[in-house]
Structures are given as structure tokens and as C-alpha cells.
Structure 1
């Protein structure tokens, strides 16, 4: 006779309660905002920093000023002839200057050429002045190539160059009066230039050739 079968039951592991079933206080710490950090600097540090920046800017300004003072004199190039030839006889001179000035204005370029009546710098060139009729007029510019070009166009002029510390020094002039006689007969197909046309090309703050 077979032995009766037996059934044994093992204890089951208890299930962990769901997260929603746990008290809310247990997870409250996860939703708290992170604490903020604040760093405070003593006021003395800010004062020291501002003082250091001020000293640094003063040193830079002083260095820039010293560099500017050490700049070399600028070179000026000029053509010179007697005033009668430059301003009254040379028919195309005014047109050439006006065209160059118009070009500079269109391109917003700074003017770098002037007419100087009886310039003071001629005292430095005795070999030039002894060949000139007076009063004399000089075309002065910092553009060497353009002065060379104008030398070819004007032909009967003398060319030289000099250095000057300032523009005022370079363009300084002596008092002079310009009076040109009108020709008895004008045969050209265009009207003769009006007297005083050169005033637009005189140095700044000058209307009579005196810088």
C-alpha cells in the first residue's frame, strides 16, 4: 500500500511596500532646494583693487604720452616758384588742385597739401632762394610721389624737402601782397581764373598767406 502524499508550504517573502505607500516625510529631503553659498569680500579689498586699476591706467597714459613725445619730425616735400607763375600764368594749376581736393572730400580723406605764400622755411634753402623772384609761392605736401608728379606737370619749379615738428611750423609764412595785372587781351576759349582762387588751399586759419 502506497504511503499517502504530503504537501508542505514554505513561507513567502514579504513584498516591499510601494514608494507611494511610504510616508511623504521620508522623501521630503529630495525636493528641498540646494543651499546657496554667498561669499563676502571685505570692503578693503575692493578699495585696494580700485586703487591698483587707477595706478595701472595712469601708467599706461604716461607711457603713451612719452611715446608721442618721442615721435620723429615729419618730412614735407615742396615745389616753389614765383607767385606770378604759380598763381597767374600756369593755366591748369588751379584745376589740378581743385580736382585733388574734390577727390579727398569724396573719399573723406584728410588734406595733405597746401599753398604757402612766402614760406618761412625758404630761409633754410639759400641755393633755392637766390634763383627765385619774389614773392614766392610753394606747393607743400607730405605725399612725395604726388609732388614728383606735379614737378613734371609744372616743369619750371624748384623741388626740395625739409623736416618739421608740427604742421604750423611747416606751413608758417611771411606777410605778402599779391597783385597781378589783368591781360589786355585774353584769347583762351575759357575765362581767366579769378584772383584769390588760391585762398581755398592756404594753410588752416589763413586767408592772406600768413600761418
Structure 2
């Protein structure tokens, strides 16, 4: 199983009101400078949020959603500190399904 960590908010907030492009550009450069593989994705309307385990987490967030998903828990905590108004959580995927993180 692969652990994925996420920060999620309304698309309007995360994409339009926050400097998301700048934040991710900085983080991408950090990864490149430290020879790390990019292990994060920006996903619009991720399907995993409709799982039963998350039904109480997202009911107050205006739709549509945008999520930043990573295998690096500390990166998601960094996003939470940088952006502030996001919900964070995690989920697991079997290795065979790891390429489709939106499910």
C-alpha cells in the first residue's frame, strides 16, 4: 500500500485567491535543487473525497474542490502552514492502483 497525504480546499480559494502557482513553482525548484523526484500532484475534483471515510471532512468546503496530493507528509504540512485554510488528510492505495491517485 502507498500512503498519500493531501491538502484540499475549494478551487476558488486554492487556485484563484492563493498564489498556488508560485508556491508550487518554488517547491518544484526546491525538489530539483535537492535532486528529489517530484512527488506531488494538483488534482481538480479528486474522486477519493467521495469515500465514506471522508464524508464529514468536506461538507463545509464549497465545491468544486482542488487537492494537492503527495507521498511526502511533511510537504502537505508545509502546504497547510503556507496556505492555512486547507483541510488535510491521508489515504492509502494498493500499489497496483498507485498511478491513479484521483480514485
> Where on the TM-score scale, by shorter chain, does this alignment land: which range?
0.7 to 0.9
Q: 1:82-104, CA deviations, whole angstroms, 9 ceiling, x for partnerless residues?
A: 0010011013x221210111222
- TM-score with structure 2 length normalisation? 0.86
Match of 1:181 in 2: none
Unmatched runs of 5 consecutive residues or more in structure 1: 1-72, 173-211
Match of 1:168 in 2: 99
Unmatched runs of 5 consecutive residues or more in structure 2: none
| CA distance, structure 1, for counterparts of residue 102 and residue 49 of structure 2 | 11
Q: CA deviation at 1:167?
A: 2.6
Match of 2:7 in 1: 79
| CA distance, structure 1, for counterparts of residue 83 and residue 18 of structure 2 | 8
Q: CA deviation at 1:121?
A: 0.4
Q: Which has the higher contact order (CA 8 A, sep 6+)?
A: 2
- TM-score with structure 1 length normalisation? 0.44
Report whether the alignment pairs 1:104 with 2:35. Answer: no
In the TM superposition, what are the counterparts of 1:125-164 in structure 2 within 5 Å?
Answer: 125-164=54-93
More strand by share: 2
Q: 1:129-174, CA deviations, whole angstroms, 9 ceiling, x for partnerless residues?
A: 31221110001111111211211111111111100123333234xx
Q: Which has the larger radius of gyration?
A: 1
Match of 2:18 in 1: 90
Q: CA deviation at 1:120?
A: 0.7
**Aligned CA-pair RMSD:** 1.5
| CA distance, structure 1, for counterparts of residue 90 and residue 34 of structure 2 | 27
